[in-house]
């Protein structure tokens, strides 16, 4: 079976036994394990040191209360100290779901300020940035990337309007497709429109999926179904899709 890389997973949230099973799956060449906060950064750093297939991304997930000033400063110092062991900055971005529940409790401006620090950090170390940015927040994030002239950007599990999709394509940004491609029309439209040369695949595991994956533990092997569906949607030979996705991911994350 052809090989694939999971471009976005929270491997630190898996049990060690499951991680070893993923390691033993010969079709999974690697994973990009993104972080939520400093403890998960440390865990992903440890996993990357233990397992050659794990590539760590360091950051602070936006769908949570912002860190205190000292906490953020300590995290950035830690990232700078460990940047040689970092494949990417991530997961970072702007909050969407928590703001839908309570916008007053999560004002956007402070999150924008934090995101700018991570964009500058990615630029300083010439690392890709893995972004949580969907719907109405995505144009704001694109504006920040343009402001700082840094487009080495991966919009994971992206969802947004046609204009924003066009903007992403023109700017050379990448998006990754999740297993919900098999049952979500919105994601099917995105996969149809986005150039194959700017696509990757991911699971965002351990996030659970529906449809044919209902009640199943999310693991990278599920991406094989995603790849076959991309081939069906784009009417391209599946072997070509496998080769292109693997090449895209390796080049984007500088994986040798």
Residues of each annotated binding site for a divalent metal cation: 8, 10, 91, 132, 156, 204
Distance (Å) of CA 176 to CA 63, 85, 142, 181: 19, 23, 16, 11
Tell me phi and psi for residue 152, to 5 degrees.
-80, 65
- Angle (CA) 7-11-14 rounded to 5° is 145
Binding-site positions? 8, 10, 91, 132, 156, 204
Q: Quick check: 176 and 8 in contact, CB under 8 A?
A: yes
Neighbours of 172 (CB within 10 A): 12
Tell me phi and psi for residue 93, to 5 degrees.
155, -145
Q: How far apart are CA 221 and CA 109, in angstroms?
A: 38
Short-list 177, 178, 131, 132, CA closest to 150: 131
């Amino acid at each position: 079976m052809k090989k694939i890389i999971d471009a976005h997973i929270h491997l630190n949230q898996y049990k060690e036994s499951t991680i070893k099973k993923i390691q033993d799956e010969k079709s999974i060449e690697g994973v990009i394990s993104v972080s939520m906060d400093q403890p998960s950064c440390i865990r992903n750093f440890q996993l990357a040191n233990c397992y050659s297939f794990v590539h760590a991304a360091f950051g602070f997930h936006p769908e949570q209360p912002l860190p205190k000033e000292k906490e953020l400063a300590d995290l950035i110092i830690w990232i700078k100290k460990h940047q040689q062991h970092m494949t990417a900055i991530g997961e970072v971005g702007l909050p969407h779901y928590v703001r839908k529940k309570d916008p007053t409790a999560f004002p956007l401006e402070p999150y924008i300020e934090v995101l700018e620090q991570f964009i500058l950090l990615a630029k300083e170390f010439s690392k890709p940035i893995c972004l949580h940015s969907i719907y109405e927040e995505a144009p704001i994030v694109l504006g920040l990337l343009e402001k700082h002239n840094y487009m080495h950007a991966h919009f994971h599990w992206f969802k947004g309007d046609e204009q924003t999709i066009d903007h992403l394509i023109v700017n050379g940004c990448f998006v990754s497709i999740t297993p919900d491609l098999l049952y979500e029309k919105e994601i099917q439209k995105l996969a149809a429109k986005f150039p194959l040369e700017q696509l990757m695949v991911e699971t965002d595991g351990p996030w659970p999926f529906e449809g044919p994956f209902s009640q199943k533990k999310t693991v990278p092997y599920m991406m094989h179904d995603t790849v076959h569906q991309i081939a069906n949607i784009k009417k391209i030979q599946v072997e070509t899709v496998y080769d292109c996705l693997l090449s895209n991911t390796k080049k984007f994350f500088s994986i040798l």
